[in-house]
Amino acid sequence: MTTTPDASLLEHARALDGNDPLRAHLDAFSEAPGVDAYLDGNSLGRPLRDMPEKLAAFVRDDWGTRLIRSWDEQWMALPMELGDRIGHVALGAAAGQTVVADSTSVLIYKLMRAAAAADPARTELVIEAGNFPTDRFLAEGVAAETGMTLRWIEPDPVHGVSVADVEAVLSERTALVSLSHVDYRSGALADMPGITAAAHGVGALMMWDLCHSAGVIPMQLDEWGVDMAVGCTYKYLNGGPGSPAFAYLRRGLQGVLRQPIQGWWSAADIFAMGPEYVPSGDIRQLLSGTPPVISMLAMQGMLDLIEQSTIAGVRAKSQSLTDLAVRAYDEVLAPLGVRLLSPRDAEQRGGHVTIGHPDFREVTRRLWSDGIIPDFRFPDGIRLGLSPLSTSHVETVTGVLAVRDALESGDL
């Protein structure tokens, strides 16, 4: 009997799931009735199964019973304590350098604006031309506010920014280099230590956007000398829609850089209510207004799972999933004219694989209606976002086969 490509792929996927050391965690996440494959965990992670009970307990006890006393008992310290957990579990960052607050956009602005003002002799800001819109828009805004010049990097669209790309635009005028660790389109993984060292070689500061790497890619921010970093918590940290972002500021820059949104939570004495602003000298200086406590609940359970699994274990599962997606692409999608828009080498990509075809906008609509949920990215890309702790190998193959079936249906 001849084995079909579908059967071979599914058999291989089942074998991988059977040997997956993290497979028990699949049951920790809520089911979504009618969804056969959720391949968008790099945009919004699934909720943990116990979240309804945790939210109810919070309303009943921490808020409903302790009332305002919970601020003194636990909530005042939560942004820093949760930041330390993220730093320890996912970032390779010692305590006191990471804080949870605001949105990704607000935190990038705070740090970018602070870096722009650090040295008046440095007048250039380096960023990639294809970076996520928020990063680019903020850089344009900061440049307009400060009179700085933007230097744009235009890297290979599949393999992303290289050390050589960055070195080509650096000079003694560079104030800040701001890049994404994982390209939101192709999934290309940047050389964080190499690029950081290049920026430092001309005396510039280095900031990384970790939105597509935090919780799925091991990193060592302290060891690699990273100055600043910002990441969201609703992707691989499963904090839920609109959950707050985190910011990392290395200890040597705390009390040196000054962020521009001088709210009362970043004051040296929060309750002094004094006539003038005196900033805190520690990581709390990155706060502004009252932290979103309820929105910090969901990610805490995910941090537990990542810590149990280890970030290295999560990365190994991620590479297994994306390798399988590339194999499935080769066998059933490449013959249909679909393009691979991500690096083939698992060491060079993050947690998602991007594929391209002119019909993918309509294909995505068809897939969503059929319970297959990937992510469409303009102009013609589908991202297969494979969140390691909540995604199986069979689910991955199911999604790729569904893309093939939709393309072959002829009724798009």
Q: Are 324 and 12 in contact (CB under 8 A)?
A: yes
d(CA 377, CA 23): 29
Catalytic residue among 102, 165, 183, 209: 209
Query: Tokens 């990215």 belong to which residue?
Result: 377
Contacts of 146 (CB under 8 A, 6+ apart): 113, 116, 117
Catalytic residue among 185, 235, 284, 404: 235
* Other Cβ atoms closer than 10 A to 224: 17
Residue 185 among the catalytic residues: no
Q: What are the CA-CA distances from residue 86 to residues 79, 248, 286, 288 (Å)? A: 11, 10, 16, 20
Q: How far is CA 283 from the centre of its chain?
A: 21
d(CA 78, CA 246): 12
Residue 277 among the catalytic residues: no
- Tell me the two tokens of residue 393: 């190998």
Catalytic residue among 109, 234, 236, 248: 234
- Rg of the chain, C-alpha, whole Å: 22
Residue 323 among the catalytic residues: no
Catalytic residue among 110, 284, 315, 383: 383
Contacts of 221 (CB under 8 A, 6+ apart): 87, 91, 92, 93, 97, 229, 248, 250
Residues belonging to the chain: 412
Residue 235 among the catalytic residues: yes
Catalytic residue among 38, 109, 132, 246: 132
- Amino acid in position 146: T
Residue 383 among the catalytic residues: yes
Active site positions, annotated: 132, 209, 234-235, 383
